[in-house]
Structure 1
Amino acid sequence: MDYQFELPIKVRDYETDSQGIVNNANYLHYLEITRHDFCEQAGTSFRAMQEQGLDPVVRKIEIEYISSLTLGDSMISKLRMHREGARFIFRQDIFNASTGAMVVRAVVTTVCLENGRLSRGDILAEAFAQYL
């Protein structure tokens, strides 16, 4: 898959359980951090969107855990986005930086609220025009 964005992330000690394995919920954080940094690369931020009355919200997440990261590991979190009607679909994968092994495969579906109401997301699409 051709990715539009990549972000290196290092596992921190508080993200692991007593065996030193990353807790499954932390992968959702990694995916979100990646989407936020991607927005900044695209020239916007969640704060800027909110000031315009736009609130992108997660509608659904499908996640497949393939292998584990452990304390001290580094990862590369990658994404590619596209639009399906009012939905913005982020295909996100996380790889172990040292081995290249896939760790997580996810599909994150978001929608856009404009001033609190569900919209087609056309204003948001303008911000991501170069990626859609």
Structure 2
Amino acid sequence: MTEFSVPITVRGYETDSQGHLNQSVYLQYAEHARWCYLEHAGIRQADLLAKGVGPVVLETTVRYRRELRAGEEVAVSCRFVWGDGKTFGVEQTVVKADGTLAAEVTGVGGFLDLTARRLVEDAREPMRALAADPAALGL
């Protein structure tokens, strides 16, 4: 499995003065889905800290496609795109219950060596070492 999704209900306090989901909340939804994805593969935040690494976001782009309002149900997906170097890609979507694409979130991430304060050489290594199911992460 290389893609994962988590259901979220848009809450009223997350909306702006126009009744739309506030733009910053899309990033929170994406972050929530990423952590759920790691947990699904058997990796907890404490595991990363114990290994001496922490995930870092280096770049994020949000493409807003359709508005979201309080009470709407969405599914937020997450898929990692692995390469050979220090960084990896992240592809996410926010999809309404009726299948309408509400947003696309893409990004670049890496894993920071918490002692050296530099990115680890191979971003796949911490995931392979910690995941109970590396295949769930596309490894």
TM-score w.r.t. length of structure 2: 0.86
Instruction: Name the structure 2 match of 1:45.
Output: 44
Matched, 1:18 2:17: yes
Matched ranges for 1:15-94 at <5 A: 15-84=14-83, 85-94=85-94
Displaced runs of 4+ in structure 1, greater than 6 A?
Answer: none
Structure scoring higher RCO (CA < 8 A, sep ≥ 6) equals 2
Shift of the 3–125 alpha-carbon distance from structure 1 to 2, 3 Å rule, reads closer
Structure 1 unaligned runs (5+)?
A: none
1:34 counterpart SS class: helix
Q: For the residues of structure 2 that align with 1:50 and 1:12, how far apart are their CA atoms?
A: 31
CA contact under 8 A between 1:7 and 1:78: conserved in structure 2? Answer: yes
CA contact under 8 A between 1:22 and 1:70: conserved in structure 2? Answer: yes
Structure 2 unaligned runs (5+)?
A: none
Instruction: Name the structure 1 match of 2:127.
Output: 125
> What is the Cα-based RMSD across aligned positions, in Å?
1.6
Give the letter for the 2:118 counterpart.
R
TM-score w.r.t. length of structure 1: 0.90
Q: For the residues of structure 1 that align with 2:55 and 2:39, how far apart are their CA atoms?
A: 14
Q: Percent identity?
A: 29
